[in-house]
Amino acid sequence: MGGNPQRHIRSGPIAHPWAYCCQHDSHSHASLCFPQRRPEARVASALNELGRIAQQQGKLDDAEADFHRMADIYRSVYAGKHYYIGIAESNLADVYVEKRNY
């Protein structure tokens, strides 16, 4: 029964619900295959919301700091390769435009 777990989907119980995404056997599997579940990614998501609120309230320095931190976290979590990083950079660019910091 070795090999690809997808070939044996109906042949027995599956040990982990994420058994189909890759071949990791470690306890850190969820962090490797689903980095959005890492606490750091949740913090970055919260910073996005806080940054947007600060921006709407005209607190552009606070929004800039939040979006910078958000981008740094996403770069770390996603190893520099994810569209969330682009969202953070876009939010930061919006702040720069509002501050007329071209």
C-alpha 38 chain-centroid distance: 8
What tokens does 26 get? 């470690």
36's CB contacts (< 8 A; 6+ apart) are 77
pTM: 0.65
The one-digit pLDDT tens for each residue of the chain (102 residues) are 455 444 444 444 444 444 444 554 444 544 455 555 678 888 999 999 999 999 999 999 999 999 999 999 999 988 888 999 999 999 999 999 999 998
DSSP 20: T
Q: Which of these, 36, 37, 52, 34, lies nearest to 88 by C-alpha position?
A: 52
